[in-house]
Amino acid sequence: MQTYTTQMNAAKQGIITDVMRTVAEKEHMDVELLREKVAKGTVAIPANRNHLSIDPEGVGEGLRTKMNVNLGISKDCNDPEMELEKVRVALDMGVEAIMDLSNYGKTEQFRKELIKMSGAMIGTVPVYDVFGFFEKELKDVRPEDFLAMVRKHGEDGVDFVTIHAGMNKRASETFLENPRLMNLVSRGGSLMFAWMRLTGYDNPYFEYFDDLLDICAEFDITLSLGDACRPGGLADSTDASQIQELITLGELTKRAWAKDVQVIIEGPGHMSMDEIKANVLLEKKLCHGAPFYVLGPLVTDVAPGYDHITGAIGGAIAASAGADFLCYVTPAEHLRLPTVEDMKEGIIATKIAAHAADIAKKTPHARDWDNQMSKARVDLDWNRMFELAIDPTKARAYREHAELEDETTCSMCGKMCAILNVKEALK
């Protein structure tokens, strides 16, 4: 009987796993084709063998664009119950992934509860947890502490981990030689940069990358290779630091695949619209077709309070150009920890971006949803329109607050309704 250690290892052996069958059915894809993509690395299925409640999803080439929601406990908002309420709402709204970015106190209990209740894949940034867990100052953290925390997250059932392995000495030298307006805005990346400066050592995730891969293979953790040099403002996009790190991530991707560890590449960030397509092309070229995960990109820096919109614009462009995974952005970005309502707005905006991109990419059956809505509209079937709406609650509320002369039409057109008049004329 054939055995396998990871989904990629199984795929390379020609084994079709139950996880692959589930994803193939969701994607309307031939399971053998999906297996080939997993073996090649152009599709990743983050599914830690210890995450027993997972309803697996695939991320990558030819699949629906997936969405991630960030949440977690911070020192200024130390309210685990509020964060768990966000989890419940996000799951009800159908998100495919949740990242626990908790960075204060003993986060293990919250993480375990999140994994237990979630069918969505769970991601973390283990470096956030190092300082609270080991109760050490940054300069006192040892290389083995960073690796031990990845193992701990793997044991708990985390499906993908953000690891800033590309922020090595070479990348830090490039950053120092090429000044930026915004410097480094990646929290994990800045911690690794500061640790290297304080200790004089190279990044342990880079220096001991093979040991990291062994941990990932043991639990089938997908590596989400973080972009420590992602631009935090338009002025810094597509610069030497960002590209130098991306080259390193491409090299690390090949090493991970050689050990049957799945990889996702994280990307920008803030970026003007005309640069987005080129950045997707660069990632796909330099990282050998590995799935691409983007934060936004945010296409302008001047819209605090509306960055769910700037992110949705960039996300739609990126995904239509080939990005595979969108990290949502809320109206609270740059301002505060998002509330449940902020999170809802971010989810809806990102869902719109992902679906619009899937239509453009001609993802199988993506347009069917829109055709059903058009049919409901031509039939003036309002209840069916609400059922199909990406946000049924808001759509229904808008309709209910209208003062209608004719219940079959809307309050904008009334008796001049084009649909109604053409129907009458055709009779």
355 known member of a binding site? no
270 known member of a binding site? yes
Q: Tell me the C-alpha to C-alpha distance, in Å, between residue 287 and each of 246, 255, 412.
A: 8, 11, 50
The answer for residues whose C-beta is within 8 angstroms of residue 408's C-beta and 6 or more apart is 380, 417, 420
168 known member of a binding site? no
Note the helical H segments in 63-177. 80-92, 108-117, 126-134, 143-156, 169-177
308 known member of a binding site? no
342 known member of a binding site? no
Taking a C-beta distance cutoff of 8 angstroms, is the pair 77, 39 a contact?
A: no
205 known member of a binding site? no
334 known member of a binding site? yes
Taking a C-beta distance cutoff of 8 angstroms, is the pair 245, 287 a contact?
A: no
132 known member of a binding site? no
> What is the C-alpha separation between 242 and 233, in angstroms, rounded?
12
Taking a C-beta distance cutoff of 8 angstroms, is the pair 8, 261 a contact?
A: yes
Task: Name the nearest CA neighbour of 245 among 258, 233, 228.
Answer: 228
3-class secondary-structure state, position 379: coil
Task: Give me the residues paired with residue 309 across strands.
Answer: none
4 known member of a binding site? no
401 known member of a binding site? no
417 known member of a binding site? yes
Task: Name the nearest CA neighbour of 165 among 215, 211, 206.
Answer: 206
Taking a C-beta distance cutoff of 8 angstroms, is the pair 332, 342 a contact?
A: yes
67 known member of a binding site? no
Taking a C-beta distance cutoff of 8 angstroms, is the pair 57, 24 a contact?
A: no
230 known member of a binding site? yes
21 known member of a binding site? no
Spacing of C-alpha 109 from chain mean position: 23
**Known binding residues for [4Fe-4S] cluster:** 410, 413, 417
**Known binding residues for Zn(2+):** 270, 334
**Known binding residues for substrate:** 70, 99, 128, 164, 186-188, 227-230, 266, 293
**Known binding residues:** 70, 99, 128, 164, 186-188, 227-230, 266, 270, 293, 334, 410, 413, 417
